[in-house]
A = this chain, B = another copy of it.
Amino acid sequence: MPQLSDIPPQDRRRLWETMLLIRRFEEHIVDVYGQQEMQSPVHLYIGQEAVAAGVCLHLRPEDYLFSTHRSHGHCLAKGADVFSLYAEFYGRAAGCCRGKGGSMHPCAPEVGILGTTAIVGGGIPLATGAALASKLLGQGRVAVTLFGDGASEEGAFHESLNFAALKALPVVFVCENNFYATASPIHQRQPHDDIFRHAAGYGIPAAQVDGNDAAAVYFAAREAVQRARRGGGPSLIEARTYRWKGHVGPSCDWENGCRPKQELEQWMDRCPLERFTQRLLQSGDLTEQDIRGTLERTDVMLARELERAKHSPPPASSEVWRHVFHETK
């Protein structure tokens, strides 16, 4: 078992800061959502931050990332701009998609996010295709696709694993197994919950990790990304985790009977941010003062960007007819 000390100090710090950024980014949404001005169905990531942080730390800006309906954390970890995300969720012209995509479809081509699909499983073949492009063009870029346990039931997941294995593509499949698809528990959808087992059928290396342990995700992702980058082909990582909020929106879904409250509480006790914070405090990577300082800086920045986004102008109505097609060749 690799130790925390096997993670370079600057990476430890970045892991923690990324998780913190995601957590607070989402909590700011929770705070303002009730105002009903952010009119976009937000699928919050709170509770799963270690996965995005641990995976994306290994990626370069030019590497590709394909996400899902639950995209915020992934985008932030990959380096997407906070303001342009918030503005997008508010449906503003300055949003990363000019207000046309909303929370489910962010893009940030400048950091390898070429667009996001909210069709479950839909992004998996897209990432595989981006990896094919990278390989055929000899670019050395890695493509990562993050998706849920539900997505692993879609045929497109298997079709992608098969093709990626066949062509030894530089793609990392990361399944965030949070044991639910909307309110449907995994045992109503799959015969068991060890999703990583499907990789063997394709001869793809796989790892099952504690998705609430940023270090565990970090090590598994490092291996997978390095393998992809050196031409060793695809990998599958199953990160077992849990979302704290409801499937969509800022409330908790145990309140309406979707899940047992106790289950949520057990997982909250294993908060990925809190756990990693404690470890970094112990290791001396962090001090209480660091924490307070970073938290404050992050919150000030997020509040500022959110306000800017909220008060930025909506798109002109003529935008409805634009961009149906690519405008220049």
Please indicate the chain B residues that have their CB under 8 angstroms from the CB of A311 in the complex.
Answer: none
A154's partner among B155, B166, B189 (CB-CB below 8 A) is: B155
Interface residues of chain A: helix, strand, loop or mixed (majority): helix
A165's partner among B159, B162, B191 (CB-CB below 8 A) is: B191
Q: Give a binary string over A146-173; 1 marks a CB under 8 Å from any B CB, 0 the rest.
A: 0000000111111100100110000000
A139 at the interface (CB under 8 A from B): no
A293 at the interface (CB under 8 A from B): no
Interface size on A, residues (CB 8 A): 21
Q: How far is the CA of A155 from the CA of B158 in the complex (A)?
A: 6
Please indicate the chain B residues that have their CB under 8 angstroms from the CB of A203 in the complex.
Answer: 191-192
Q: Give a binary string over A192-229; 1 marks a CB under 8 Å from any B CB, 0 the rest.
A: 10000110111100000000000000000000000000
From A164, which residue of chain B is reached at the shortest CB distance? B191
Q: Give a binary string over A21-57; 1 marks a CB under 8 Å from any B CB, 0 the rest.
A: 0000000000000000000000000000000000000
- 14 A-B residue pairs with Cβ-Cβ distance under 8 Å, sorted by A, are A153-B159, A155-B155, A155-B156, A155-B158, A157-B158, A162-B190, A162-B191, A165-B191, A166-B188, A166-B190, A191-B202, A197-B200, A198-B198, A200-B201
